[in-house]
Amino acid sequence: MRYPGFSRRSFAGGAAAALTAPAALAAPGLLASRQAADTTAEQAADTAAAEVRRITLYAEELPGGLLGYGLAPGEASVPGPLLEMYEGDTLVIDLVNTLDVEVSLHVHGVDYTIDNDGTRMTDSIVEPGGTRTYTWNTHAPGRRGDGTWRAGSAGYWHYHDHVVGTDHGTGGLRQGLYGPLVVRRRGDVLPDKQFTIVFNDMTINNRAADDAPHFTATAGERVEVIMITHGEFYHTFHMHGHRWADNRTGILTGENDPSRVIDNKITGPADSFGFQVIAGENVGPGHWMYHCHVQSHSDMGMAGIFTVTDRNGNVPGGPMPHGGTGQAGAASGGSHH
């Protein structure tokens, strides 16, 4: 199953066309020489140099009262495009505001000077029809002069509007002005596929309950999930049949890593985390639910399906279950990368 722009590779390729600047959007190691290597983890090249890349983001209206960010005119999506950096990289973003209200771009986790804050208070927002440049920097970990350890920028972060509706962007977030940002450390394991799941108020990725995002992978593929929460409510994110480490990468660093392994995690607005699973590892193919485990939330439709097929594309129980997640309609629809 392949949605437009769904796989990492097609995403990266599509994005490249929209770049306004010399370097590719995706981190160097991601684009170079990725062959089908289902269960073989590839390491990012340690020798890759830090890069400065420039992209344009367009804030646009979408059908159904949604707003979105996109890498080219007419390509806005909810969530916005997955942005990826390596520690040390700089990303320069020209935000074009095609809306009739002010919009902005506020980012979590990375480095930026105060004029890139994306808030009204700091006069770093964009008037209707205007363009503003935001610069995000990142850094590798290392030791400070005083001997303490300075954390690197690596993490599962996100960006969002901070001005539509209220000065905290409550309207912008509600309508879809948010997206994922992954910052990797040199050497981090790269995924074969990536899915972004945003619990935004009582929706997943602003989808209606009967149209929850449906993700598909082949057993053995290394799948990265980027999980973000927005809005008003707390949630608990649960996946059937798969679990992850509650640490930086979602992968234990080895036998001495004391992190808890979990398959359910409480999360609140603007929290984000990510992890990688080997699709179907130890459990095989199937239509695996993922959902909010707050009972009323899942009952009202905060549930989707992560389908793991065998190597021939088959799934026990057939191609798609009916009424599977507890809602009237079957899960359907795809993600944006």
Chosen residue from 56, 97, 104, 137 binding a copy of itself by CB under 8 A: 137
Shortest distance (Å) from residue 4 CB to a copy of itself: 27
- How many residues form the binding site for a copy of itself (CB under 8 A)? 104
**Exposed/middle/buried for 41, CB within 10 Å: 0-12, 13-18, 19+?**
middle
Residue 257 interacts with a copy of itself (CB under 8 A): yes or no: yes
Chosen residue from 23, 259, 310, 332 binding a copy of itself by CB under 8 A: 259
Torsion sign, CA atoms 75, 172, 92, 152: negative
Chosen residue from 64, 129, 131, 150 binding a copy of itself by CB under 8 A: 150
> Residue 157's beta-bridge partner residues?
181
Residue 121 interacts with a copy of itself (CB under 8 A): yes or no: yes
DSSP annotation string for 11-50? HHHHHHHH--SSS-SS-HHHHTT----TT-PEEPPTTPPP
Residue 108 interacts with a copy of itself (CB under 8 A): yes or no: yes
Residues 270-289 that bind a copy of itself (CB under 8 A): 270-273, 278, 281-289
Which span sits near a copy of itself by CB under 8 A: 87-95, 191-199, 211-219, 262-270?
262-270
Shortest distance (Å) from residue 152 CB to a copy of itself: 8
Q: Given the complex with a copy of itself, which of 70 and 160 has the nearer CB atom?
A: 160
**Exposed/middle/buried for 2, CB within 10 Å: 0-12, 13-18, 19+?**
exposed
Show the tokens assigned to 26.
């995706």
Residue 34 interacts with a copy of itself (CB under 8 A): yes or no: no
Residue 318 interacts with a copy of itself (CB under 8 A): yes or no: no
Q: Given the complex with a copy of itself, which of 174 and 207 has the nearer CB atom?
A: 174
CA-derived radius of gyration, the chain: 19
Pairing mode, strands 303-309 and 90-97 = unpaired
